[in-house]
Amino acid sequence: FATNLSSSYREAALKLRGLPVPMSIASQHIKLINSFLSSAQASIAISETEKDPATSFSGLVTLSKNFGIEKGIFEEINKILTSNGI
């Protein structure tokens, strides 16, 4: 599961990187890409529980933190787009 999650986050980040966005959301766009890449790495760490439980736990903490960050980014993008009539 965690390996598939990592691949999904990485793929999403790469697709976002190639997506042109308005300047008004460019900084949020970059933050989202970086968070997705961080979540991809955290998912890899989670998948290696048998090898290194401490690193796996750290991956869980990072992934949990990133969920909150990503929620905030999406909310900010929504607010910017809504205020611009989009």
pLDDT (tens, 9 = 90+) of the chain, 86 residues, equals 767 889 999 999 999 999 999 999 999 999 999 999 999 999 999 988 888 899 999 999 999 999 999 999 999 999 999 998 88
Distance (Å, rounded) from C-alpha 44 to C-alpha 61?
13
Distance (Å, rounded) from C-alpha 68 to C-alpha 83?
23
What is the predicted pLDDT for the residue at 50? 85
Distance (Å, rounded) from C-alpha 29 to C-alpha 21?
8
Q: Yes or no: say if 47 and 3 are a contact pair by the CB < 8 Å rule.
A: yes
- Which residue, among 86, 72, 84, has the nearest Cα to 28 in the 3D structure? 72
Token reading at 78: 């929504």
What is the predicted pLDDT for the residue at 48? 87
Q: What is the reported pTM?
A: 0.88
